[in-house]
Each structure stands twice: as C-alpha cells, then as structure tokens.
C-alpha cells in the first residue's frame, strides 16, 4: 500500500500563503482607516472647509466679549443671521 508521503497534498501551500497575506492586508486596512479617522476628526461631516451653523454665532459672541462690537450691534447681527437661515 502506498501512502503518498506529501505528494497527494500539493495544494496545501495555498492556505499557508493566503492566510498570512489576508492578515497583512487586514492590518494595512485597519491602519488606513485609523489614519483617515484621525485626519477628519476636526472637520464637519460636510467636508473640509465647511463651517458649522453655530460658528457664526460663536464668533459674534467672542467679538462681543472682547468689546469689538456693542450689544446693539450683536443683536442686529444675530437677527441678520437668523433671517438668512430661515430663507
């Protein structure tokens, strides 16, 4: 009786090559996704350069706190912002 010592399983090298390649590819994909997540962390979902809707109000509040504008100017500018958003 012949047992084919190793000659009948010629295809066994395929999993031993593919499994490490899949592991390395998974690690690369995880690194790429992590880098993309950290780069876009400070941006809004609208994309780069998009301004949050309330950032204009915060800017006006900061200018009022620094004394660059008066409370009357602040109220007028807030009304202008809100009327522009409701269009």
Select from 24, 20, 21 the least CA-distant residue to 32: 24
The pTM for the full model equals: 0.40
pLDDT per residue over 12-66, tens digit each? 788 889 999 999 999 999 999 999 888 866 555 555 555 566 788 899 999 999 9
- pLDDT of the residue at 11: 75
- pLDDT of the residue at 48: 54
- pLDDT of the residue at 37: 87
- Phi, psi dihedral angles at 39 (to 5 degrees): -70, -35
- pLDDT of the residue at 60: 92
42 in Cβ contact with 34 (< 8 Å): no
Rg, the chain, Cα only:
31
């Amino acid at each position: 009786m012949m047992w084919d010592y190793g000659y009948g399983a010629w295809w066994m090298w395929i999993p031993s090559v593919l499994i490490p390649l899949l592991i390395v590819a998974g690690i690369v994909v995880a690194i790429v996704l992590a880098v993309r997540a950290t780069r876009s962390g400070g941006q809004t979902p609208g994309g780069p350069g998009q301004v949050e809707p309330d950032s204009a109000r915060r800017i006006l509040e900061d200018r009022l706190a620094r004394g660059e504008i008066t409370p009357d100017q602040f109220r007028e500018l807030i009304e202008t912002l809100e009327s522009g958003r409701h269009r």
